[in-house]
Amino acid sequence: MQGFLKLLSLINKYGNKDKIYNYFLEEFKKIPLEGWINVVPQMIAQLSEEEGQDRKFIKILKEILLYLGLHHPESVLFSLNFAVKSKIPNRIKPALEIMASIKN
């Protein structure tokens, strides 16, 4: 789990660079899904689209959660359900978008 948290930290720090962003979006599916399952709550906690936050990082989080949700919906939908009920409005919209994409 620590490795995935470190990876998320690195993506947050360097994912705004086009080369790293594009590479990660192409390659993250090669990473075992089981590792991502352990950090779903941390990804959802960082999902809020706040002013000044890197949009590319949010896009990467959405892509990971969507990919994970398509393969293991039970591991993502439960946590997304809590995000939808959040008191943080900027977290609700991306959570609803991911949930809708998984259900379609």
- Residue range of the domain that includes 94: 2-103
Answer whether residue 54 shows pLDDT above 90: no
What would the pLDDT profile of 62-79 be if each residue is shown by its tens digit?
999 999 999 999 989 988
What global pTM score does this model have? 0.86
The per-residue DSSP string of 34-74 comes to: HHHHTTHHHHHHT----TTS-HHHHHHHHHHHHHHHHH-HH
In eight-state DSSP terms, residue 39 is: T
What would the pLDDT profile of 2-44 be if each residue is shown by its tens digit?
888 898 888 888 888 889 889 998 998 998 888 899 999 999 9
| 82-101: average pLDDT | 88
* Tally of domains within the chain: 1
